[in-house]
């Protein structure tokens, strides 16, 4: 096979894989993972079932690839915001809560894909659940990096609180009024940060001794 023909075959294979993953991702997110079978995926993608199994092996592998794709999108936005705000941790957190608030306020938002899949697959060793759990651990790690620069007494605790706050927004999108999520997230985060800072002594106050 010529180099040109080989490149075309590789490119064609990549296009097929991307089409399958794009189609599966839309269906999984809109209808739920368990509700979508491989027959529906190949029908909507316009490919043979053998092509799906050639690229993904099993449906579980396809589900994991769907979550990894969502990971790339989410962390890509996160990294972009972080890069714009440099060392200003407060501004970075406000900006993160801004785009997350906008995200959960979209009319077609159906929740966090990682939380959705984890709820559908309680088995701890399921490959998709492992991807979902890794995503949440990474969020807490990144929030701790921010918390360590916010002058709070317990950055790990604040990171956990912010994780609960953000994940709570992901599963509560249906109760928000229009454009409300960002304001709620920012005000709640400000209250958590204030509560996490050690109280300062009034000027002139001395410590009691015994």
CA dihedral 189, 75, 168, 123 (to 10 degrees): -140
Nearest to 165 by CA among 102, 95, 100, 88: 100
**Within 10 A of 115 (CB to CB), how many other CB atoms are there?**
15
CATH topology of domain 59-195: Tetracycline Repressor; domain 2 (1.10.357)
Q: Are 118 and 133 in contact (CB under 8 A)?
A: yes
* pLDDT above 70 for 85: yes
Give the model confidence (pLDDT) of 115-161 as tens digits: 999 899 888 888 888 888 999 999 999 999 999 999 999 999 999 99
Domain boundaries, the chain: 1-57, 59-195
Span 54-82, average pLDDT? 94
- pLDDT, one tens digit per residue, over 29-61 is 999 999 999 999 999 999 999 999 999 999 999
Q: What is the pTM of this model?
A: 0.82
Do the Cβ atoms of 78 and 96 come closer than 8 Å? yes
Average pLDDT over residues 67-95: 94
Neighbouring CB atoms inside 10 A of 105's CB total 17
User: Which of 161, 155, 163 minimizes the C-alpha distance to 139?
Assistant: 163
Q: Which CATH architecture does the domain made up of 1-57 adopt?
A: Orthogonal Bundle (1.10)
Structure tokens belonging to residue 6: 């080989």
């Amino acid at each position: 096979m010529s180099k040109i023909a080989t490149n075309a075959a590789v490119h064609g294979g990549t296009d097929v894989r991307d089409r399958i993953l794009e189609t599966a991702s839309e269906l999984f997110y809109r209808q739920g993972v368990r509700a979508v079978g491989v027959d529906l995926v190949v029908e909507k993608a316009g490919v043979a079932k053998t092509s799906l199994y050639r690229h993904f092996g099993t449906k579980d592998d396809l589900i994991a690839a769907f979550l990894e794709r969502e990971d790339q999108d989410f962390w890509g936005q996160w990294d972009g915001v972080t890069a714009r705000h440099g060392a200003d941790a407060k501004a970075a957190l406000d900006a993160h809560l801004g785009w997350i608030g906008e995200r959960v306020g979209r009319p077609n938002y159906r929740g966090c894909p990682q939380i959705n899949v984890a709820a559908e697959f309680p088995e701890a060793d399921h490959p998709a659940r492992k991807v979902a759990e890794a995503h949440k651990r990474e969020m807490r790690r990144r929030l701790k990096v921010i918390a360590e620069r916010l002058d709070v007494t317990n950055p790990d605790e604040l990171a956990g609180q912010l994780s609960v706050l953000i994940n709570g927004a992901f599963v509560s999108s249906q109760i928000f009024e229009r454009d409300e999520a960002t304001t709620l997230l920012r005000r709640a985060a400000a209250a958590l940060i204030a509560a996490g800072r050690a109280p300062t002594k009034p000027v002139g106050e001395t410590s009691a001794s015994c």
